Structure 1
Amino acid sequence: MEAFERSTKFFNEKNYEQANRWTDETLKYDSTFAEAHFRKAQLYEIYTQPDLALQSYRKVVTLRPDAPQSAAAYQKLIEYHLRAGEYAQAKNDLTRYIPLLRPNSVAQKRAQRQLQTCAFGEKAIENPLVISPEELSDTVNQFILQYFPALTADGETLLFTALRPENDEDLYITHFKDGRWTAPVSISDKINTAENEGTGTLSADGRTLVFTACNRRDGYGSCDLYISRKNGKDWEAPKNLGINVNTPFWESQPTLSPDGRTLYFISDRKGGIGGRDVWYTSLQKNGEWSAAKNVGEPVNTLDDEASPYLHANGHTLFFASEGHQGFGGYDLFFSDSTATGWQKPENLGYPINTSDNQVALVITSDSQYGYYSLDTKRVGNQRVSRLYRFRLPTELQQKFNAANYLKGLVTDSRSGKSVKANLELIDLKTGKVVQRFSTDTDNGQYLTTLPNGSEWGLYVNAAGYFYKSLSFDYTQKNKAEGLQLDIKLEPMNLNTFGVLSNIYFETGKADLQDKSRTELNKLIEELKLQSTLRIEIAGHTDDVGDPKQNQILSQKRAQSVADYLITAGISRERIRAIGFGEAKPMAPNTSEENRQLNRRIEWRIW
C-alpha cells in the first residue's frame, strides 16, 4: 500500500509528523491493517501518549491474535500491564504471546519469568502488609527532589541527597530535636561543591561519611566513592577511596557497617555476576581499604542490583534488585549474613514493593521504622520526590534482629576530662570482634550498636589508663532501646581498681566458662604491655548462702583467674588472689540485679 510505504519512509527518517499523516491515511483506507495500528502505537509512544499507544497495540493483537507478527505488540502490552500492576491482564496476554516464541529462546525464557511475576504479584496483593506512610515535614521536604536517606544509629541525624534549583546535587543533614526535624543544611562546604555529590552513607556514630561524586579530576572512572571523617563539628576534606575500591567503571550507592570499617556499594565493573552488582571492601590495619570483592550469589543476580543498606545489626543487608522474584522492575529485598554465607534474599512484600520501582530504603536501628523516597507528582515535566517514613509491620520486624544503641562520653575518672579512646565490641560466644571504633578526639563522645540475639563485651582502651570492660547480655532481648552510658577510665596509679565485667563461672563453682576467655586474654594483653604492673585479683559474692562458704568460693574463683594468667606467662610475683566473699558489696543485696553486681571479679594495682 503506497500510503503505508510513505509512512515507513518518513518514520525511518524520523520525520514523525509526516509518518503520522500517512499512517492515518492508511487507516482511513483500511482500518483492519494491523501493521498501520502498530505504527500508530509507535508514534503515540514517541509523542508520550501511553494510553493511546496501549489502545493501538491492543487493536493489533485483536486483529491478529495468533500471528507471529503480533509478538512485538504483545510484548509492549505485557510490559505496560506489568508496570501498572495489572497482573491478570498481563497473564492473559502472556498465554497468547508465549506460543508465538521460539522454544528455549531468550524471549521465551523472559516471558516465562514474567508469567511467574504475575503469579507472585497476584498472590502477594491478596496478602498485603499494613503500612501507613507519612510524609516528613515540609521543613525537610523543601527541595524538588530529595532521596537516598541515611540515618545514624540513634535515629537523630538524617542524611539525604537533594537536587537544588540550579540542578546541583548536594548532601544535606537534618537533626531530630524536640520532637521534630530541623531545617536541613549542607553537610559541609568541604563536601559539597559546584559539582554533584550524592548517595551518601554514615557510620553508626555519624562521624564517617562515604559518598558518590562523578567526573572529578582525581577520579578513576565516571563515578567514584569518597570518604570524609568528622572530629568535633568539622568534616575533613574528602579523599578518593583509591584504586582498590574505585575503577574505570561506575561505583555508587555506598553503605557503611556500624563501625565504618566495612563498605558495601554498587559497581558495574568487570568480574561481577550481572550488570550492576553489590561489592564490598574492608578497612585494613594499615588504614588502606582492601581490594573490593563481589558479594556473590545469592544476593547478586544476572540482572541489576541497587542501593544496598546494611542494618545497624551489622548482618542484615537490604537492597533493590531486578533479578529476584518480585512485582516487576526493582523490588526491595533483605538477606542475612551467617556463618555459612548470605541467606536467600526475601522480598519485603506488598505494598512496600509494588509494580513501580522501589530502589532505596533504610530501617531504623530498633527496626520500628523505614525511611524512603517516593515520587509523588510532577511539576510540568519535572519529577518531584519526597521523603517518607512508615512503621514496619510486626511480621517484618520479627524477621531480623533489632539493634540497641549505646552512646555517651569517655572521661578520666579523676579529672572528668574527655579521653581519646579506642573501643572494641566482641561477641562473647564466638570471641569475634564485630566492631572497632574510637571516640571523637575533640569531646570524647562515642556511639555504637548492640544487636539483640547475642552476648556482648565492650572494651575501652586509652593510653595511660587500665582498660575498661562492660557486659551486655542481649540473648533473650526482643525489643531495642537507646542507652546513655558515660564511661570513666581509671589512670594506672597505685590502688586504682575496677571490675572485670566479662568473667563467668559455672554456678556455685570456680570453673571458668569459655566465654571468659575474651576478658582473660584482654587482661593478659594489658599485663604484657605494662610489664612492671602488679595486680590483685579479688573475688566477691552476694549474700545468698553461708558467709564462710561464700568467702571460700570467692577465693577459689580469684585463684582460678590468677592461675589462668600465670599459665599464660605472667610472672607469679606480679599476681595475687584474694577472696572477700560477701563482705564488700557494690550495692545492697535487695534485688537479683544488685546481687548480680555483687558477684564479681575485681582488679587492683598494688
Structure 2
Amino acid sequence: LKLLTLNSKDVVYNFEGGLSYYFADFEQAKSVPLFESALENSKEDTIPELCYYLARAYHINGDFEKSKEAFTHFKPFIKTSTKSGQELMKQSDYYININDNGKKQLANKNENTIIKNLGTSINSTYGEYAPVMKKNEQVLLFTSRRENGTSKKVDTDLLPYEDIYVAKQVNDNWQLITDKVELEKYIPKDLNTKKHDAGVIYSSDGNTLYTYKNDLIWKSILENGKWSNLVELDKNINSSQYNIPSVNLSKDGNTIYFTTTRKDGFGGKDIYKSSKNEEGKWNVAENLGDKINTKFDEDAPFISDDGKTIYFSSKGHDGIGGYDIYKSELTDNGWGKAENMGIPINSALDDIYLIVDEKEKNGFFASNRDGGIGGIDIYSLCINCPTKIINTINGLLVDNIETPIDGTLTTQLLSSNNPAETTQSKAGKFSFVTATTGKHQITVEAQNFEKQTTTIELPNKTSETDLTIKLNQFEKNENKFQVLTISSKALNITQTDTIKLEKLIVINNLHPDSSSIQTNANNTPITYQEFYNYNSTTINTNNLSYTKLINQALTNSKNGEKIVIEIESSASRVPTLTYKTNINLSSVRGDEAKKIIIQSLIDKGISEEKIIVNSINSIVSGPTYSSDSYNIEKYKKSQYVKITLK
C-alpha cells in the first residue's frame, strides 16, 4: 500500500493493494476503490483476474448490481476447456444468481429492524461468535479466539484456540466478567482448556449448560449452586467421526436440534433432531428434510419456545452470500419453505448463530459483514421495532451567482398544528432536524430579498438531505420578479417559485455556466471557477476566463484599489490515496490556487502588498461515494476551485 503513495495510478500496485484488503479478515470493502483504480488505469494488458476480484469485492460491499455486471464482464475470459475453468464458470453463475437475490432483498429491506454492533466491550479484532443468552439475568456467553486466552499456543491456522467468555449487561452496557467467583455462577470452574472450547446453549431453566469441545457436545448441570463436571452426550448425538458445532434444545428439553455431516444428508452440514425416550436417552437422530437442508451447508439451529419456528443459517436456498439466516414455520406436513430473513439481518457475508427471546423480537447473532471490528462480530437485533424518524436537512442559501446569503428559514409541516421551526443561515449554510415527514412549508427571509415561501416533501424514513435554495431577482418586459429555486440530489428535485415585485432590490443579469466569469451589474465581484479531474490541483492560467479575472484585477489596481481575493476549494467524496483524506486534497487545491493567483498578479506588475487573500474555504462536497470512481461526470462538479475578486 505504501507503493501507491509513489504512483497512485500503477495498475499492479492498485491490484496488489486491493488483494491485501480483499483477503483480510475485515475491512474487505476497502479493496473496491483500489480494484477500480487498477481497472481504470489498465489498457491493453488488463489483468483478467481483476474483473473477478472486483466483482467479488462489489458483492462484499453489498453492491449487487455492479457485482453482477462485473461477473458478466469476467465470464468471457474464463477458459471452459479446463476443469478449473468450468468450476470458475459455475462459481460466476452462482454469484450472478445470489446478486439477483441480493437486489430483491435490498428492495424489500426492513427499515424497522435495528442491528447494532455490541462494540469493543464484547468484540475484538480476532472474532467473536456463538452468543448464548442466560434468560432473565442479562448474561451473555460467547466464544472468541482472541489473544491472552487459556492457551498460549495457536492452532494450525495461526489463530488462538477458542475460549468461552461471559459478559453482563449493566445500564445498557456490556461488561466482561473477570472475577472467578462471579464467573462460576454461569459456567463450570476451569471450563476453558488449552484446546477449543465453545458455549452452545443453556436449557430453558438455565440449570443445564451445553458446550462444545473435542468435536463433541457436553453438558454440565447446576446443582446446589455449583456446576457439575462436563458429561459427554450419548452416541446418537455425538460420534467421533462427525463434527457437531451447533446444538439447540426445545423448551421442555426433550428434543435436541444439532448440526452434523452424515452420509444420509443432502450434502455438507445438515440439521438433525433427536427426541428423548422414556429412559431419558436420545433416540436415533432424523434429518429435518429438504425444506431445511440443501446440498450446501446448514448450521446454527434455534427453536422458538413454542416449537413452531426454527431459525437457522444456510449457504443454500435463496441466499445473498455466505451464510444467511432463515426461518421456517412448522405445519401439519412438517417444516415449511425456508424464508430468508432479509436485509439488514443478512448481508453479503456470513450471518449466523441467531438467538431470540421468547417473543422472537430481540436477540443476537454473529456476522463478518463490512464495518465490523474484527473478522466476525456479535450484533444485537430488534425485529420490527418502532423507530423514531429523524430527518436532517443540511442546506445552502445563495444568490444567483452562488454567493452565500445570511438569512432566516422557517419550516413547518403542512396540515399540522406543530410549531414552526426557525434556523439561521451563516455564510449561507443552515441545518435543521425534524421528526416530521411529508409536505413541509419553507419560508425564506434575507436582506435585499422579498420574503418567499415554497414547499418540499420529506421522506417517511430517517434520512439526511442536502438542500440548495437560490434567490434571484430580474426584470423582464418592464415587470420585476423574484425566483426561488430549491434543489436537492437526495430528494431528486429541482423546483422554482416566482413572485412579482414592486421594485428590484438586487439585480443579477447573468446566468453563469459551470466554468465562467461571474459578475453583477457593477462588474464586482468576479468569480472564476475551474473543475478538476481526480487528484488534480493545477489551474489552467491560459483559460480565457482566468485571464479576464487577472485583467480586471489589474484595472482595479490602477484605480488605486487593493486586490481582495476569496478562494473556495472542494474535493469530491471519492477516496484519495495520494492525499490520504478528501479534506487534505481540498486544502491542497486551495493553497495551490492561492500561490497561482498571487504569482499571476505579481507577473502583471501588481505589488504583493496590494494583494489580500481574505479567506480560503476548503470543503468536501458532492454525492456520497458509491464505489463508482469510473463515473467521472457524477463527481466532477464537486471537484473545483472558485477564485472571487471582490
Higher helix share: 1
Under a length normalisation based on structure 2, what TM-score does the superposition of the two structures give? 0.47
